[in-house]
Structure 1
Amino acid sequence: MLSKEKLERINELSKKSKTIGLSIEEAKQQSALRKEYLETFRSTMRDTIESVKVIDPSGNDVTPLKVQQAKKDKFLN
């Protein structure tokens, strides 16, 4: 998870870009922070999805095979 300071800086740069614009250095910083945010978000989402087990009303495990395989791969590594 990103630090509170980084999230605040992302929001600050976003507001500034909509009003007065960003300098070249600020635009580079914004891009780097956004990239880091997306990587963190995707990693967290992937971990969440891989930890889910889907059960139908009959009690059968109907977790998609792709998710089951990802769990196995993660466990083996």
Structure 2
Amino acid sequence: MISQDKLARINALANKAKSEGLSLKEQKEQKELRQEYLKNVRSSFRNQLSSVKVVDEDGNDVTPSKLKEEKNSRLMH
């Protein structure tokens, strides 16, 4: 999970970029923070998705095989 300080910094840089622009150093920092944030979001989404089980009206497990494979590969690691 990304820290509240880093989220605040991402927002501060975004606001500054809109109002007055960023220096090259700030642009680099913003890019790195955004990449870290996106990596965290993707990881969280994958974890959440791997816990999904799809069930039809009759109670049968109809989870796509690709999702089952991903879930099993995560359990192995």
Please give the range of the TM-score, normalised by the shorter of the 2 chains.
over 0.9
Displacement after TM superposition at 1:52 (Å): 0.7
CA distance in 1, matches of 2:26, 2:10: 10
User: What is the TM-score when the length of structure 1 is the normalising length?
Assistant: 0.97
Q: How does 1:26-65 map to 2 (within 5 A)?
A: 26-65=26-65
CA distance in 2, matches of 1:75, 1:16: 43
Match of 1:18 in 2: 18
Aligned residues: 77
CA distance in 2, matches of 1:58, 1:23: 59
Identity %: 48
Displacement after TM superposition at 1:72 (Å): 1.0
Listed as ranges, the gaps of 5+ residues in structure 2 are none
- Indicate the larger mover: 63-72 or 33-42: 63-72
Displacement after TM superposition at 1:75 (Å): 1.4
CA distance in 1, matches of 2:75, 2:29: 36
Match of 1:67 in 2: 67
CA distance in 1, matches of 2:72, 2:43: 17
Listed as ranges, the gaps of 5+ residues in structure 1 are none
